């Protein structure tokens, strides 16, 4: 989409207004804790807690079993943020698999929080047959107000949420605009904040939260997006430190591979490795990981659709047809149990691989403006009317069951079951 020459200035001014609005909210916030806590980088034995303080202060996170009896405490690392506050992270280690813990942010030896004490549940240990469920969402634009869709997710009690891109629409690499966008997503008044009091978050960027509509890795200021992702996203160790945000984790008999479809993309050349392929190959990392994995289910998180009709022909995997076909062929030849989790298109569809090439669960517009799916073939349907939505994915030993849910009332719109390989 073409944009006028004055757009960058408009975006900076909008970001400044959001930045100022955030500070007005800080003035009435109770205590130094303004945003969070948010749990990310969750594994079967560890977790990272992220939060933001209005002022620099010694902070810790106290955690333990639900009654906090015999609680442990770990010091938080504070970093100055471009929004004028301080972001903090605390790494919790030595946790038991598939166990519930409560935790508190402590500032100046005093616990600070809003509402009930937040909780986390660790992932099942690698190889465990324990079933679990998670939610998939993308394309959120209403923050810092609304977000009722996340309340519908909370009703389903997911272990975690995967946000597959467009974590807001800053459409800029300006530092202040990006920072204001992150604060809006984590704003206490936004529904996501309520969900994250009981579920962990994994997220990757798409175009609008990386730099702008349909951008690739050459967008000016890409390094700002990387730096702020590191500052505001409580992510897992990156497969390519200092570069792509690709990352992976294991949950029971499932393994998840989160792709970076933006920072290494080069239009007309490649989606995964159009830039810097000689230094590190994201495609190689993915294929090696899939082939090496002993998991029954391998979930690949891609911010853009794999389906040949659903995707934007200028921006999705369809824009790189040879790379798409080669990836599908190599995955089919060397492994099984692969399911793509995608977003971007402000609609939803389910396909068992008949049309997408590999099974695909697509969900977009959790609270952004929705569209109906384009006409095409989808094995288990696509949304024929414009409806905001998210996906619930239930993982068991015999099948993965996916359902597209209405953001308004949680009603089931589409369903699909993928049998175990």
pLDDT tens digits along 96-135: 999 999 999 999 889 887 778 899 999 999 999 999 999 9
| Across 247-253, average pLDDT | 98
Tell me the pLDDT band of 78, cut-offs 50, 70 and 90.
very high
Whether residue 161 is predicted with pLDDT greater than 70 in this model: the reply is yes
Q: Which residues contact 271 (CB under 8 A, 6 or more apart)?
A: 261, 265, 304, 317, 319, 320, 323
Rounded to a whole number, what is the distance in angstroms from the first to the last CA of the chain? Answer: 41
Q: State the pLDDT at residue 229.
A: 97
Most confidently modeled range among 67-81, 192-206, 239-253, 263-277: 192-206
Q: Which residues contact 113 (CB under 8 A, 6 or more apart)?
A: 33, 37, 104, 105
Whether residue 220 is predicted with pLDDT greater than 80 in this model: the reply is yes
Using a pLDDT cut of 90, give the percent of the chain over it. 83
Lowest-confidence pick of 240-244, 341-345, 349-353, 378-382:
240-244
Calculate the alpha carbon distances from 106 to 60, 73, 231, 274 in Å.
5, 9, 20, 45
Lowest-confidence pick of 66-80, 193-207, 217-231, 370-384:
66-80
Which domains occur in the chain, in start order?
Answer: 33-121 (2.60.40.10), 132-419 (3.60.21.70)
Q: State the pLDDT at residue 19.
A: 41
| Across 49-60, average pLDDT | 96
Q: State the pLDDT at residue 5.
A: 35
Q: Which residues contact 366 (CB under 8 A, 6 or more apart)?
A: 137, 138, 139, 140, 149, 150, 388, 389, 390, 407
Lowest-confidence pick of 9-18, 259-268, 385-394:
9-18
* DSSP-derived pairing of the beta strands 160-163 and 132-137: parallel
Taking Cα atoms as reference points, which of 143, 232, 237, 217 lies closest to residue 185? 143
């Amino acid at each position: 989409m073409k944009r006028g020459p004055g757009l960058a200035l408009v975006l900076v001014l909008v970001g400044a207004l959001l930045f100022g609005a955030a500070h007005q909210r800080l003035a009435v916030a109770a205590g130094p804790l303004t945003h969070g806590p948010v749990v990310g980088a969750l594994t079967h034995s560890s977790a990272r807690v992220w939060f933001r303080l209005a002022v620099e202060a010694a902070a810790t996170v106290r955690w333990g079993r639900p009654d906090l009896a015999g609680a442990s405490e770990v010091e938080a690392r504070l970093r100055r943020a471009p929004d004028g506050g301080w972001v903090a992270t605390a790494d919790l280690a030595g946790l038991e698999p598939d166990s519930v813990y409560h935790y508190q942010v402590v500032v100046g030896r005093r616990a600070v929080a809003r509402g009930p004490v937040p909780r986390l549940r660790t992932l099942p240990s690698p190889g465990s047959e324990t079933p679990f469920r998670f939610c998939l969402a993308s394309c959120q634009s209403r923050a810092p107000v609304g977000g009722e869709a996340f309340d519908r997710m909370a009703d389903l009690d997911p272990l975690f949420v995967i946000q597959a891109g467009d974590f807001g629409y800053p459409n800029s690499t300006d530092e202040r605009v990006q920072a204001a966008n992150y604060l809006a997503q984590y704003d206490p008044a936004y529904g996501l904040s309520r969900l994250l009091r009981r579920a962990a978050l994994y997220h990757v960027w798409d175009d609008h939260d990386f730099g702008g509509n349909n951008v690739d890795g050459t967008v000016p200021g890409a390094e700002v997006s990387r730096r702020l992702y590191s500052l505001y996203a409580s992510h897992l160790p990156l497969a390519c430190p200092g570069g792509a945000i690709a990352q992976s984790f294991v949950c029971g008999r499932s393994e998840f591979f989160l792709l970076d479809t933006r920072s290494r993309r080069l239009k007309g050349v490649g989606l995964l490795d159009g830039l810097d392929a000689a230094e590190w190959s994201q495609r190689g990392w993915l294929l090696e990981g899939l082939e090496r994995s002993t998991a029954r289910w391998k979930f690949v998180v891609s911010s853009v659709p794999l389906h040949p009709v659903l995707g934007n022909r200028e921006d999705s995997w369809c824009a790189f047809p040879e790379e798409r076909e080669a990836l599908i062929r190599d995955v089919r030849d060397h492994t099984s149990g692969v399911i793509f989790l995608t977003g971007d298109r402000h609609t939803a569809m389910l396909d068992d691989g008949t049309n997408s090439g590999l099974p695909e669960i697509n969900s977009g517009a959790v609270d952004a403006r929705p569209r109906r799916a384009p006409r095409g073939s989808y094995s288990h349907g696509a949304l024929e009317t414009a409806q905001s939505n998210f996906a619930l994915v239930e993982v068991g030993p015999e099948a993965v069951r996916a359902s597209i849910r209405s953001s308004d009332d949680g009603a089931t719109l589409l369903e699909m079951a993928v049998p175990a390989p």
